[in-house]
């Protein structure tokens, strides 16, 4: 059989697999039946902090002295070569490389047959920092949610208990005010729960939109009326672009309401002056779309913050909020096939712009 520059077909195959393993995001090491390292991929050398050429041929127990949190040697504890003959490996465990850092370690024992001596030990190393960041994000999410739920639930509990115990002592106007507060706080809890459910779906790639023809301008007008009904002056809102004909937009009405509610509330709560809303055609290269712009006249957002705005827990100010709303907005817009961006408005405030593709989806008859 003809050999290439890299040797025989078998050698080329082994080299190819080695190259693939070097691309693996986890560190991989293989030790033989004596515990000597016979393979190290690039990621393992990076995690351990030692070149692969220096690791090869060394005893893995000395080259990588993994320890338990109490200081015990993990190799002495597990003893892959002399331990129980029925063991096939160890599940992922957080261990310490002295003088370096914590790593997540998984081990697999390769035996020629059941109950026979270990021929090779395959060790997978994963940097624990990524998991630590994920756990920190989850802790921050739990803390934020607990804080945001406590305030409205405390209000609901307080007013409902007061009404039940002292109903006859209050006038109708006082009762109405307390019931309106309860309803408002209950709505706030419902919105937060909806945000959390949407975040889980966005992160898992399971967010669904049920598209149908929608009137974007009419949807914006409904939201303006809601803000006016809740006490804001009608003059604070200006809907522009009335005269331009728009292409037909197919979107999920409930999801569109979420997008508009988040962006308009953001402008009202954190901006100043008039909240300007514009709806115009935005097609290009033959693809029709509609663009919605929402801006205010406040201080705006520093450009250096633009890359972080649509991430979790970003806050425009210290006026409360979960910091999850804009993250959800981006997920909902992108689920429709659109894009969302932020910039500076002509009046100096913040300007959010999102697009929605026009036309019926291909699977709609």
Residue 322 has a pLDDT of 66
Domain 9-128 matches domain 212-357 at the CATH topology level: no
CA-based nearest residue to 62, from 97, 95, 93: 97
**pLDDT tens digits, 199-256:** 888 877 788 889 999 999 999 999 999 899 888 899 999 998 766 788 899 999 999 9
Quote the radius of gyration of the chain (alpha carbons, Å): 30
Its pTM stands at 0.59
At residue 120, does pLDDT exceed 90? yes
pLDDT on residue 197 = 85
More confident residue, 250 or 140: 250
Per-residue confidence (pLDDT) for residue 260, from 0 to 100: 95
Axis crossing angle, helix 172-204 with helix 325-335, rounded to the nearest 10:
60
Q: How confident is the model at residue 7 (pLDDT cuts 50, 70, 90)?
A: very low
No. of helices (H) and no. of strands (E), the chain = 10, 12
Report the pLDDT value the prediction gives residue 351, as an integer from 0 to 100: 95
Top-confidence residue, 33 or 286: 33
pLDDT category at 179 given cuts 50, 70, 90 is very high
Say which residue the tokens 């989806």 belong to.
Answer: 361
Residue of 247, 241, 336 whose CA lies nearest to 284: 247
Please report where in the chains the tokens 């070149």 appear, as a residue: 51
Per-residue model confidence as pLDDT tens digits over 302-321: 888 888 888 876 766 555 56
Helix extents (H) in the chain: 9-22, 42-48, 52-55, 60-63, 74-78, 128-166, 172-204, 216-229, 253-270, 325-335
Three-state DSSP class for residue 197: helix
CATH superfamily to which 9-128 belongs: PAS domain (3.30.450.20)
Contact 88, 80 (CB under 8 A): no
What are the residue ranges spanned by the domains of the chain? 9-128, 132-204, 212-357
For domain 212-357, give the CATH number. 3.30.565.10
Q: What is the pLDDT of residue 321?
A: 60
CB atoms within 10 A of CB 295: 27
Per-residue pLDDT, averaged over 344-355, amounts to 92
* pLDDT tens digits, 82-97: 888 888 888 888 888 8
Could you tell me the pLDDT band of residue 324, with boundaries at 50, 70 and 90? Answer: confident
Per-residue pLDDT tens for 336-346?
999 999 999 98
CATH architecture of the domain with range 132-204: Orthogonal Bundle (1.10)
pLDDT band at 330 (very low <50, low <70, confident <90, very high): very high
Per-residue pLDDT band at 134 (split at 50, 70, 90): low
């Amino acid at each position: 059989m003809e050999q290439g520059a890299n040797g025989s077909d078998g050698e080329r195959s082994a080299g190819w697999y080695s190259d693939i393993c070097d691309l693996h995001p986890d560190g991989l090491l293989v030790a033989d039946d004596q515990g000597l390292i016979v393979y190290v991929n690039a990621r393992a050398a990076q995690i351990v902090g030692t070149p692969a050429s220096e690791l090869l041929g060394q005893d893995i127990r000395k080259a990588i002295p993994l320890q338990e949190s109490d200081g015990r040697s993990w190799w002495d504890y597990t003893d892959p070569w002399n331990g129980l003959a029925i063991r096939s490996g160890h599940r992922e465990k957080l261990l310490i490389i002295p003088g370096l850092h914590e790593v997540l370690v998984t081990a697999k024992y390769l035996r020629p047959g059941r109950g026979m001596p270990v021929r090779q030990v395959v060790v997978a190393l994963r940097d624990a920092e990524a998991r630590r960041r994920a756990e920190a994000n989850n802790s921050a999410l739990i803390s934020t949610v607990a804080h945001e739920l406590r305030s409205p639930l405390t209000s609901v509990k307080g007013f409902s208990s007061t009404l039940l115990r002292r109903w006859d002592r209050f006038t109708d106007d006082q009762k109405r005010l307390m019931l309106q507060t309860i309803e408002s706080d209950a709505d706030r809890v419902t919105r937060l729960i909806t945000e959390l459910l949407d975040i889980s779906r966005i992160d898992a790639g399971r967010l669904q939109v049920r598209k149908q023809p929608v009137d974007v301008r009419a949807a914006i007008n409904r939201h303006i009326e809601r803000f006016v009904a809740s006490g804001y002056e009608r003059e604070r809102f200006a809907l522009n672009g009335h005269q331009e004909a728009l292409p037909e937009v197919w979107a999920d009405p409930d999801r569109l309401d979420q997008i508009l509610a988040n962006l308009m509330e953001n402008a009202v709560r954190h901006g100043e002056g008039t909240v300007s809303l514009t709806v115009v055609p935005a097609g290009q290269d033959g693809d029709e779309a509609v663009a919605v712009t929402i801006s205010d006249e406040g201080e705006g957002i520093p450009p250096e913050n633009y890359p972080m705005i649509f991430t979790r827990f970003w806050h425009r100010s210290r006026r409360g909020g979960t910091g999850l709303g804009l993250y959800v907005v981006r997920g909902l817009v992108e689920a429709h096939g659109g894009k969302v961006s932020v910039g500076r408005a002509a009046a100096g405030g913040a300007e959010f712009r999102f697009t929605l593709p026009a036309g019926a989806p291909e699977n709609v008859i």
